[in-house]
């Protein structure tokens, strides 16, 4: 059974993708918090899936090097899903370097470094790489300037790899979805009407349904 590696796999969309994909893959969850990874892994096992996990902060080049060199991430890689992400919102004039660095380290440099670290295996077995980008990678948005910039960067990385590897068996799928209804928004007033947001389960179902036949998936918020 091939493996599906999911960053940010302990909660939200990552966990839901793990549950759905466990029918066809051995799930490998990566995330910063061991307790959340254990909880998500338990739910996947309860559903009958095979799952492993490793603690990894995608902002750390050293941790990426260490984890990607383990046997867990070396063999039979069917899917690599760059799901870990972070967002800070508000007027550009109020933004700071800490927020800028956190978003680019997590949303851009993490996926790039992990892909590079695993590239020989990805090419060899014909892995599908799925970039979870958000519709912020398609158009500018008010009070999201740095977040949008990070997502445009990930979009550019993914589209460039699509062209570079179009004659190989390595696939890259860019996924753009609207905001998700998660506890993240409990502490933010950036989204005024959360009823428009899709649940992580809804978005995971659409991605799993479409990723095999589409190189680009767009999932807009509800009207």
pLDDT value at position 220?
86
pTM of the model: 0.93
Q: Is the pLDDT of residue 106 over 70?
A: yes
Write down the catalytic residue from 53, 88, 147, 165. 147
pLDDT tens, 20-60? Answer: 999 999 999 999 999 999 999 999 999 899 999 999 999 99
Cβ density class 63-81: b for 16+ within 10 Å, e for less: bbeebbeeebbeeebbbbb
Residue 174: how many CA atoms within 13 Å on its side-chain side? 21
Is 147 tagged catalytic?
A: yes
Mean pLDDT, rounded, of the chain: 92
Q: Is 202's pLDDT higher than 60?
A: yes
Percentage, residues of the chain above pLDDT 90? 86
| More confidently predicted of 132 and 188 | 132
pLDDT value at 189 more than 70: no
CATH dotted code for 3-219: 3.40.50.720
Q: What is the model's pLDDT at position 179?
A: 76
Q: Where are the domains of the chain?
A: 3-219
User: What integer pLDDT is reported at residue 74 of this predicted model?
Assistant: 85
| Pair 6, 25: CB distance under 8 Å | no
Residues 137 and 183: their CA atoms lie apart, in Å, by: 22
Q: Which of 14-18, 42-46, 177-181 is predicted with the least confidence, judged by mean pLDDT?
A: 177-181
Angle formed by the axes of helices 12-21 and 200-210, to 10°? 50
């Amino acid at each position: 059974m091939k493996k599906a590696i999911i960053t940010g796999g302990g909660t939200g969309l990552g966990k839901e993708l793990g549950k759905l994909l466990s029918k066809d893959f051995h799930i490998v969850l990566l995330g910063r918090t061991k307790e959340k990874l254990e909880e998500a892994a338990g739910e996947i096992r309860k559903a009958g899936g095979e799952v492993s996990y490793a603690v990894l902060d995608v902002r750390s080049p050293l941790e990426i090097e260490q984890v990607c060199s383990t046997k867990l991430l070396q063999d039979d890689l069917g899917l690599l899903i760059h799901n870990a992400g972070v967002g800070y919102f508000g007027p550009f004039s109020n933004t700071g370097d800490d927020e800028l660095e956190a978003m680019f380290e997590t949303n851009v440099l993490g996926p790039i470094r992990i892909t590079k670290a695993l590239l020989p295996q990805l090419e060899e077995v014909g892995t599908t790489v799925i970039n979870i980008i958000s519709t912020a990678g398609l158009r500018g948005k008010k009070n999201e300037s740095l977040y949008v910039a990070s997502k445009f960067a990930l979009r550019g990385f993914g589209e460039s790899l699509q062209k570079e590897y179009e004659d190989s068996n390595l696939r890259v799928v860019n996924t753009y979805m609207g905001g998700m209804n998660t506890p993240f928004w409990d502490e933010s007033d950036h989204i005024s009407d959360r009823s428009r947001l899709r649940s992580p389960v809804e978005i995971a179902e659409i991605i799993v349904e479409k990723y095999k036949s589409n190189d680009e998936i767009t999932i807009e918020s509800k009207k």
